[in-house]
């Protein structure tokens, strides 16, 4: 075996060897892409065999890569990745239905709402910390970089790319096993550990290779492929609440978790068969030097715009996640469980539309002003629409407006990541992007916990004739609106920094 330079994702090549020396016999550039996408992109190990004829003449063994941006294998990868996106993230965004059930049915209805909320937020936080990116990630094409990594697993797979497939199977076993074990839980802490911590870790392991491999299969059509794949979270977030609600009503939470575990194992297992690398993965031998685990020279850590955007991201997430978890609980206080399911589905699907619209606008105008408009609109809707909501119509309006404006906020991340990396180090934009996701994961835990504390206090002091903040949600609504308003102020600070630089 010999090490040769890894081809760019926009090439289809044939690898051959004569006398043990590899050479590029054929090269068709479909687009110009970077040779330095990540640590894994530094080298490729092409395994080649030599055969001899009767006169010992060397016959080359030629290996041809699959076509890029199209073909059966590329679109098979796209479809299977879409299925994994739907299963992993659609289920996570549907936890509001479980939360509503847990708080109103034994054996968890006597537990603290804060503890019950921690189950879903823990899983989402771990998945964001490991891997979560948005559909705008896939369409970003910035010189010498590719937004194909996340903070923790990107560092791991950069050093150990040969463990990628194994990690997917481990993640699937962890997810399904934890859901099955959760069906026997009798205390909330058991749900937090199983349906929260370990499901979140397993979901990240299962899903991360989708992000890593996307840039191998698609370059010119990466935006289209990414849009198809990442639409899965919206479709799952829309459809799964209805499915979960129906199962909970018919068989209870224990058999719901067991049925879901079996279904996830079968569907995800089949989908994994199509999630394959286009370029052979390097194979490292004992004692062979691997890429560095921690990148060097991260000058972006000294840039004020990086820290300002991270802070703004935390504030925005503090306003978003409490709504995603408590909107179903609030709706159930006004109407039926079915209405709560519909509201959560509308909230999730509005976020997909918001991502597309805000992403398109951020391509045309400076992204801080798109952030400002999104955050200010979210604040107004939280203060005025949700605050005075006492009918199902107003709740629907709030779910659509807030879900679209706040749910699409992350579409500005690619542009902000390039800004944060600085003009001299655009190749660090993928790393700054993953710091944003990590910051959002932290807020995914803190926001709902703080909101849960405020909700408990509000319900204890609830007055029957209050006009603002029905059912004890007044403090939560003010908290959500205030964090969104602070996000708009942070957006103005980022705009001022960009003007000075």
- What's the pLDDT band for 137 if we cut at 50, 70, 90? very low
What is the average per-residue pLDDT within 254-273? Answer: 96
Q: Does pLDDT of 62 surpass 60? A: no
Long-range contacts of the stretch 272-276 (C-beta < 8 A, 24+) = 272/80, 272/84, 272/168, 272/169, 272/172, 272/206, 273/80, 274/76, 274/77, 274/79, 274/80, 274/81, 275/77, 275/80, 275/81, 275/84, 275/168, 275/209, 275/210, 275/213, 276/73, 276/77, 276/213
Q: Does pLDDT of 473 surpass 90? A: yes
Contact 278, 68 (CB under 8 A): yes
pLDDT given at position 307? 93
- What's the pLDDT band for 398 if we cut at 50, 70, 90? very high
Contact 28, 68 (CB under 8 A): no
Q: Mention every residue, 6+ apart, whose C-beta is less than 8 A from residue 270.
A: 83
Q: Does pLDDT of 46 surpass 60? A: no
Mean pLDDT estimate for the chain: 79
Options 3.40.640.10, 3.90.320.10, 1.20.1250.20, 3.30.450.20; which CATH number does 297-501 get? 1.20.1250.20
Q: Distance (Å, rounded) from C-alpha 489 to C-alpha 371?
A: 10
Contact 163, 157 (CB under 8 A): yes
The values of phi and psi at residue 131, to 5°, are -150, -15
Contact 96, 329 (CB under 8 A): yes
pLDDT given at position 43? 40
Q: Does 402 or 465 have the greater pLDDT score?
A: 402
Rg (CA), the chain: 24
pLDDT given at position 294? 64
Q: Does pLDDT of 57 surpass 50? A: no
Helices and strands (H, E) in the chain, number of each type: 16, 7
CB atoms inside a 10 Å sphere around CB 467: 10
pLDDT given at position 463? 66
Q: Does pLDDT of 42 surpass 60? A: no
Written as one string, the DSSP assignment of 225-253 is HHHHHHHHHHHHHHHHHHHHHHHHHHHHH
- What's the pLDDT band for 2 if we cut at 50, 70, 90? very low
Q: Which of 27-36, 59-68, 169-178, 251-260 has the lowest mean pLDDT?
A: 27-36
Per-domain residue ranges for the chain?
2-64, 68-294, 297-501
> What are 143-177's pLDDT values in tens digits?
333 333 355 666 676 677 777 888 899 999 999 99
Helix locations, 408-463, DSSP H:
413-421, 429-460
Helices 222-272, 199-217: crossing angle, 10 deg rounding: 130
Q: Which of 116-120, 196-200, 484-488 has the lowest mean pLDDT?
A: 116-120
Superfamily of domain 68-294: MFS general substrate transporter like domains (1.20.1250.20)
The pair of three-digit structure tokens given for residue 26, joined into one six-digit string: 């054929």
- What's the pLDDT band for 24 if we cut at 50, 70, 90? very low
> What are 364-391's pLDDT values in tens digits?
889 999 999 999 999 999 999 999 999 9
> Which residues partner with 12 through β-bridges?
28
The pair of three-digit structure tokens given for residue 318, joined into one six-digit string: 């503090």
CB atoms inside a 10 Å sphere around CB 460: 8
Q: Same CATH topology for 68-294 and 297-501?
A: yes
């Amino acid at each position: 075996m010999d090490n040769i330079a890894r081809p760019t994702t926009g090439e289809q090549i044939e690898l051959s060897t004569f006398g043990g020396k590899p050479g590029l016999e054929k090269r068709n550039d479909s687009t110009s892409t970077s040779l330095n996408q990540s640590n894994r992109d530094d080298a490729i190990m092409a395994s080649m065999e030599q055969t001899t004829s009767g006169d010992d003449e060397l016959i080359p063994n030629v290996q041809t890569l699959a076509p890029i941006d199209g073909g059966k294998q590329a679109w098979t990868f796209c479809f299977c990745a879409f299925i994994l996106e739907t299963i992993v993230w659609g289920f996570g965004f549907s936890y509001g239905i479980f939360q509503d059930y847990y708080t109103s049915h034994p054996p968890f209805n006597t537990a603290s709402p804060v503890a019950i909320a921690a189950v879903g937020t823990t899983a989402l936080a771990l998945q964001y910390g490991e891997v979560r990116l948005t559909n705008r990630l896939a369409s970003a094409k910035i010189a010498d970089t590719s937004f194909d990594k996340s903070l923790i697993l990107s560092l791991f797979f950069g050093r150990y790319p040969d463990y990628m497939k194994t990690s997917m199977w481990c993640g699937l076993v962890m997810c399904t096993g934890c859901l099955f074990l959760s069906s026997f839980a009798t205390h909330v802490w058991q749900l937090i550990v199983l349906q929260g911590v370990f499901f979140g870790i397993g979901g990240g392991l299962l899903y991360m290779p989708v992000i890593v491999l996307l840039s191998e299969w698609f370059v010119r059509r990466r935006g289209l492929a990414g849009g198809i794949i990442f639409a899965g979270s919206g479709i799952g977030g829309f459809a799964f609440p209805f499915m979960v609600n129906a199962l909970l009503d018919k068989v209870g939470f224990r058999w719901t978790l067991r049925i879901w575990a079996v279904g996830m194992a079968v569907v995800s297992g089949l989908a994994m068969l199509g999630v394959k690398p286009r370029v052979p993965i390097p194979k490292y031998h004992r004692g062979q030097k691997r890429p560095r685990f921690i990148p060097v020279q991260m000058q972006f850590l000294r840039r004020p715009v990086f820290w300002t955007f991270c802070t703004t991201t935390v504030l925005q997430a503090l306003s978003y996640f409490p709504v995603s978890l408590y909107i179903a609980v609030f709706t159930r206080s006004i109407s039926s469980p079915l209405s709560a399911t519909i509201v959560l589905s509308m909230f999730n699907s509005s976020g997909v539309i918001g991502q597309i619209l805000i992403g398109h606008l951020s391509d045309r105008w400076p992204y801080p002003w798109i952030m400002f408009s999104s955050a200010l609109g979210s604040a107004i809707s939280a203060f005025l629409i949700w605050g005075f909501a006492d009918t199902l119509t107003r709740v629907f309006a709030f779910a659509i407006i807030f879900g679209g404006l706040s749910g699409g906020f992350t579409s500005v991340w690619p542009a902000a990541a390039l800004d944060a990396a600085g003009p001299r180090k655009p190749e660090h934009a993928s790393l700054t992007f993953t710091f944003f996701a990590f910051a959002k994961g932290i807020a995914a835990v803190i926001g709902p916990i703080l909101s849960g504390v405020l909700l408990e206090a509000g319900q204890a002091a609830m007055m029957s004739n209050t006009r603002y903040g029905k059912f004890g949600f007044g403090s939560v609504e003010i908290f959500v609106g205030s964090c969104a308003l602070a996000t708009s102020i942070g957006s103005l600070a980022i705009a001022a920094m960009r003007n000075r630089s």
